[in-house]
Amino acid sequence: MTPLARLSGRLERLSGRLLLFAPVCLGLGVGSYFSLSEEPGALAWVLVGLCATGFAALGWHFRRSRYAGLSFLAMGVAAVLAGLMVAGLRSEIVRAPVLDFRYYGAVEGRVVKVDRSASEATRLTLDRVRLDRVAPARTPERVRVSLHGRQGFLDPEPGQRVAMTAFLSGPEGPVEPGGFDFRRMAWFDRIGAVGYTRAPALLLAPPEGRGEVLVSRLRARISAWVLEVLPNEAGTFATAITTGDRSAMDRDTVDALRGANLAHLLAISGLHMGLLTGFVFAALRYALALVPGLADRVAIRKVAAVVALQAGAFYLALSGGNVATERAFIMVAVMFGAVLMDRRALTLRAVAVAALAILLVQPESLTEPGFQMSFAATTALVAVFGALRDWPAWNPPRLLRGPISVVIASSVAGIATAPFAAAHFNIVSHYGLLANLAAVPVMGTLVMPLAVLAALLAPLGLGWIALDLMQYPIMWILAVARFVTGLEGAVGHVPSPGAAVLPLVTLGGLVAVLLAGRWRLAGAVPVAVALALWVEADRPAVLVTASGGLVGVMTPEGRALSKPRGDGFAARVWLENDGDPVTQDIAHARRGFDGEAGAREADLGGRRLVHLTGRGARERLAAACARADVVVLSMTAEAVPPGCTLYDEAALQATGALALYPGAAGLRVESVAETGGRRPWTVR
Secondary structure (DSSP) of 83-123: HHHHHHHHHHHT------S-EEEEEEEEEEEEEE-TTS-EE
Q: What is the pTM of this model?
A: 0.85
Dihedral sign for Cα 460, 300, 451, 211, please: negative
Hey, which bits of 475-514 come out as E strands?
A: 491-493
Nearest to 544 by CA among 571, 565, 564: 571
- 184-223 tens-digit pLDDT: 999 999 999 999 999 999 999 988 766 666 777 777 888 8
Say yes or no to pLDDT of 682 above 80. yes
Q: What does each C-alpha distance from 181 to 37, 95, 515, 656, 673 come to in angstroms?
A: 14, 17, 34, 12, 11
- 464-512 tens-digit pLDDT: 999 999 999 999 999 999 999 989 888 889 999 998 999 999 999 999 9
Q: What does each C-alpha distance from 678 to 61, 99, 179, 358 come to in angstroms?
A: 39, 17, 16, 26
pLDDT at residue 185 in the model: 93
pLDDT at residue 348 in the model: 84
pLDDT classification of 318: cutoffs 50, 70, 90: confident
Say yes or no to pLDDT of 16 above 70. no
Can you say how many angstroms the Cα of residue 627 is from the centroid of all Cα atoms in its chain?
A: 45
pLDDT at residue 212 in the model: 63
Task: Choose the weakest-confidence range: 16-20, 150-154, 470-474.
Answer: 16-20
Dihedral sign for Cα 136, 137, 143, 147, please: negative
Say yes or no to pLDDT of 120 above 90. no
pLDDT classification of 436: cutoffs 50, 70, 90: confident
pLDDT at residue 70 in the model: 76
pLDDT at residue 4 in the model: 65
Rounded Cα gap, residues 102 and 135, in angstroms:
15
pLDDT at residue 398 in the model: 76
- 172-182 tens-digit pLDDT: 999 999 999 99
- 619-636 tens-digit pLDDT: 899 999 998 989 999 999
pLDDT at residue 312 in the model: 86
pLDDT classification of 321: cutoffs 50, 70, 90: low
Average pLDDT of the segment spanning 408-418: 82
- Mean per-residue pLDDT of the chain: 87
Say yes or no to pLDDT of 168 above 80. yes
Rounded Cα gap, residues 603 and 609, in angstroms:
6
Average pLDDT of the segment spanning 76-89: 95
pLDDT classification of 41: cutoffs 50, 70, 90: very high
More confident position, 650 or 374 = 650
- 262-306 tens-digit pLDDT: 887 776 666 677 777 888 888 888 888 888 877 778 888 888 889
The answer to whether the beta carbons of residues 149 and 196 sit under 8 Å apart is: no
More confident position, 164 or 265 = 164
More confident position, 110 or 270 = 110
Q: What does each C-alpha distance from 548 to 170, 552, 569 come to in angstroms?
A: 18, 11, 14
pLDDT at residue 210 in the model: 66
Rounded Cα gap, residues 89 and 243, in angstroms:
31
pLDDT classification of 329: cutoffs 50, 70, 90: confident
pLDDT at residue 490 in the model: 87
Strand partners, 361: none
pLDDT classification of 656: cutoffs 50, 70, 90: very high
pLDDT at residue 209 in the model: 66
Q: What does each C-alpha distance from 472 to 230, 231, 477 come to in angstroms?
A: 11, 14, 9
The answer to whether the beta carbons of residues 261 and 410 sit under 8 Å apart is: no
pLDDT classification of 36: cutoffs 50, 70, 90: very high
Say yes or no to pLDDT of 585 above 90. yes
Angle (CA) 298-299-302 rounded to 5° is 135
Average pLDDT of the segment spanning 22-46: 94
pLDDT classification of 11: cutoffs 50, 70, 90: low
pLDDT at residue 13 in the model: 67
- 555-574 tens-digit pLDDT: 999 999 999 998 999 999 99
pLDDT at residue 258 in the model: 84
Dihedral sign for Cα 628, 629, 634, 636, please: positive
pLDDT at residue 170 in the model: 94
Average pLDDT of the segment spanning 162-178: 94
pLDDT at residue 345 in the model: 63
pLDDT at residue 471 in the model: 93
Can you say how many angstroms the Cα of residue 336 is from the centroid of all Cα atoms in its chain?
A: 27
Rounded Cα gap, residues 487 and 482, in angstroms:
9
Phi first, then psi, for residue 636 (nearest 5°) are -85, 130
CA atoms within 13 A on the CB side of 156: 25
pLDDT at residue 360 in the model: 93
